A = this chain, B = another copy of it.
C-alpha cells in the first residue's frame, strides 16, 4: 500500500517544471504540504548573499520550442521540460541551422536520451534533444522561441521541524530543483515526504527531526547560512536523500569525518538486513552532503542510496524515468530501509550506569535468587551494563558484547525500567 502512495506522488509531481527557483519549486512544495501540512515554505529574496553565493533571479518559463524549416515544432518545453536548458534567457529569432547547432545538446553515445542541461550562473540559452532527432535536422532557418522570464523574486525551500523529547536533532535533506528526472531526483523528495509523514506519527519521539526540501547547492547553502550554528549544536544524525528510487543496487557514501553515529547506524542496518551494497569514499560525494560536511560545517551527514548519481546509464537524461528506472517497489524498499534507520536511531541510546559498582540485581528480581553452579542467565545483561559507561552507544555495546542488537535493546529496556541506567546524549 505504502509503495503505491510514494510512487503515485512521484508520478504526480514528475512533470512540474522545477529549477532552482520558480513556480515548479512552489508547486512541488505545495504538493508536499498536502501530505505534510506542517511544512513551512520559506522564501529568500533574489540577490541575497548566502556565504559565498548570491541567490540568482527567479526564473520562470511560459513556453519554449523551435520551429524547424518545415514548420514543425520541435524541442517543445511543454512536451518535456528537459528540452530547455535550465535558466535559458529569452530568445525570439530566426537563425540558420549552423547557428542553432551551437546551442544544441545531445549525447551521441546515448542517441535516444535528452540530456539535462543547465546554466544557472552564466547567461546562455540552449535546447536539448536526442541525438537521433538531432542528426535528422535539415538545413534551413529555424525559429527559436524561448519565452522565459527573470525577475527579482525568491528562492523557495520547505522546512519541517517535528519536535521530540530532546532538542537533539536528526536531520534529513533532499532536493527539489530537478525537472523530469526520476531517480535523480524525484525519488528523494517523494520518499522524504512520506518519511516526514511517518516520523510525525512516531509516538514518544526522542529526537527532534529537521527535514528540508531545498534546491540543490544554492538551497542547502542558503539553508546552512541561516541555520548552521544551531544545526552544528544539535544534529546528532543526518542523511542526504538522493537516488533512492530504483531497485537495482544499494550504495553508501560516508560522511567526511566517517564513523559518526549516522555512519554507524547506516552500516549496522545494511548489515543487519544482509544488504549487499557498494561503499563509496567521501571522494565520490556529489549531492548536498558536499555542503553539510564541508570544513567548518562538519555535520554528521551520510547517504544510503540505490544506484548512485553518476553511476547508472540513465543518469541526468530523459531515460531516468518512472516505471523503468524508479519503481514503486524500489521506493518502497528505500522507505523500509530508512524507517529501520529511524527506528534504530530512536533506540540507539548511549546508556550510562546510574550507580557505582554492580547493582544488586536480586532485590529487583533480575537474578535467580538462588545461586547455583553455571546459572549464567543474567551474564549477557551484566555485560551490557558493564559497557554502559556513557561513551558507548548500544550499537557499540552490541559489538563489545558480541550480542545481537535486539538482545542488547531488550536488556537496556530492563535496565532502564529498573533505573539502573540513564541515557546520555
Contacts and interface: CB of A to CB of B under 8 A. Distances in A.
Interface of A: 51-54, 85, 105, 107, 115-122, 124, 126, 217, 220-221, 224-225, 228, 256, 282-283, 285, 290-291, 293-297, 310, 315-317, 352-353, 355-360, 362-363, 369-374, 376, 382-383, 386-390, 400-402
Contacts of A370: 85, 117-119, 122, 124, 126
A231 to B, nearest CB: 12
Q: Which 9 residue pairs are nearest across A and B when measured between Cβ atoms?
A: A122-B369, A295-B389, A316-B373, A121-B362, A52-B359, A291-B357, A52-B355, A221-B357, A295-B353
Majority SS at the chain A contact face: loop
User: How many copies altogether?
Assistant: 3
A390 B294 CA distance: 12
Contacts of A386: 256, 282, 285, 290, 293-295
A122 B120 CA distance: 77
Contact of A353 (B119, B217, B283, B296): B296
13 contacts: A52-B355, A52-B358, A121-B363, A126-B370, A228-B356, A283-B401, A290-B382, A291-B357, A294-B356, A297-B356, A310-B374, A310-B376, A316-B374
Contacts of A117: 370-372
A293 B387 CA distance: 10
A181 B340 CA distance: 51
Given A353-B295, A362-B121, A386-B256, A373 B317 contact: yes
A221 to B, nearest CB: 5
